[in-house]
Amino acid sequence: MKIKVLGCSAGIGDSRRTSCCLLDADILLDVGTGAGELSLEGLIGINHVFLTHAHLDHAGLLPLVADAAGRFRDRPVIVHALAETVAALRECMFNWRLWPDYAALPSLERPFLRYEAVEVGATLSLGGRKITPLPARHAVPAVGYWIDSGQASLALSGDTTLCEEFWDALSRIENLKYLLIETAFLNADAALAAVAGHMTADLLAAGLSRLRRPVEVYVTHLEPGWEDRIMAEIGAACAGFDVRRLRQGMEFEF
């Protein structure tokens, strides 16, 4: 199993792309602006999309991905997300005003998209690749994902502030190898992080202290322009842990 990072910033500007990872050649984990890095052939090959939540930096390119690929495909792209996230997409995005309803076009029998609701803890197996939603705590309903190849596991947080249930779930993953965790804000913005549902360096240190197994940690979703300062705070707060900055183009094989 291979995961390639197509986007891992909280925003855009210069070469920054927002959250999107490619799992093997057929699954996208979030569809932020990183999805625009795929070739047309790559877009056509996407069969499944797993969304952490509905925010545009994670789901904003879904209409364009479906549009580029739809007429070349003979089956819908399946969008896996919380029921609340699906409702937000239907009401606010694919509502015929912002974008046509691709669950009904070009025909109800063969639409571009089909939705499947996920639940925290309920594992989906796609060709031996196990994908399980993890708890998260964000400004809107959100999940992380645990991806298990059978050999090893990678977990990604999506957007979340400190969520004890997330870290406790990680502690139960026996073959956990990689953790992609967001840290959007500086410690000075702790109050904003609590309201907006994001992590700071201090919250990351608290989470890592709760995690009872070794793991390679990669920090994602840094706010544009503040990356170096946030990483410096993480270096100070998380001394003793194996924490690096996630970079666009990185690949994880497991």
> Of the two residues 8 and 77, which places its CB atom closer to Zn ion in the complex?
8
Q: Does residue 80 belong to the site contacting Zn ion (CB under 5 A)?
A: no
Give every CB contact of residue 254 below 8 A, 6+ residues apart in sequence: 1, 3, 149, 151, 152, 153, 154, 177, 178
Q: Does residue 30 belong to the site contacting Zn ion (CB under 5 A)?
A: no
> Of the two residues 6 and 173, which places its CB atom closer to Zn ion in the complex?
6
Q: Does residue 57 belong to the site contacting Zn ion (CB under 5 A)?
A: yes
Place of tokens 């399946």: 78
The closest of 79, 215, 85, 231 to 159, measured between CA atoms, is 85
> Of the two residues 196 and 231, which places its CB atom closer to Zn ion in the complex?
196
Identify which range of 66-74, 75-83, 154-162, 229-237 contacts Zn ion by CB under 5 A. 154-162
Size of the site for Zn ion (CB under 5 A): 3
Smallest gap from Cβ 24 to Zn ion, in A, equals: 24
> Of the two residues 85 and 153, which places its CB atom closer to Zn ion in the complex?
85
Smallest gap from Cβ 34 to Zn ion, in A, equals: 12
Q: Does residue 198 belong to the site contacting Zn ion (CB under 5 A)?
A: no
> Of the two residues 57 and 202, which places its CB atom closer to Zn ion in the complex?
57
Identify which range of 72-80, 123-131, 152-160, 233-241 contacts Zn ion by CB under 5 A. 152-160
Tell me how crowded residue 135 is: count the other CB atoms within 10 A of its CB: 17
Smallest gap from Cβ 56 to Zn ion, in A, equals: 9
> Of the two residues 111 and 144, which places its CB atom closer to Zn ion in the complex?
144
Q: Does residue 202 belong to the site contacting Zn ion (CB under 5 A)?
A: no
Place of tokens 């842990």: 241
Helix (H) or strand (E) holding 133: strand 129-135
Q: Does residue 159 belong to the site contacting Zn ion (CB under 5 A)?
A: yes
Long-range contacts of 17-20 (CB under 8 A, 24+ apart): 17/248, 18/57, 18/58, 18/60, 19/52, 19/57, 19/58, 19/158, 19/220, 19/221, 20/61
Answer for which of 31, 55, 167, 185 binds Zn ion (CB under 5 A) is 55
Smallest gap from Cβ 223 to Zn ion, in A, equals: 10
Smallest gap from Cβ 49 to Zn ion, in A, equals: 16
Q: Does residue 233 belong to the site contacting Zn ion (CB under 5 A)?
A: no
- Judge contact between 144 and 159, C-beta under 8 A: no
Phi/psi at 58 (5° precision): -120, -25
Between the CA of residue 56 and those of 131, 187, 204, 207, 243, what are the distances in Å?
22, 24, 24, 26, 27
The Cα–Cα gap between 166 and 159 comes to 12
Residues that bind Zn ion (CB under 5 A): 55, 57, 159
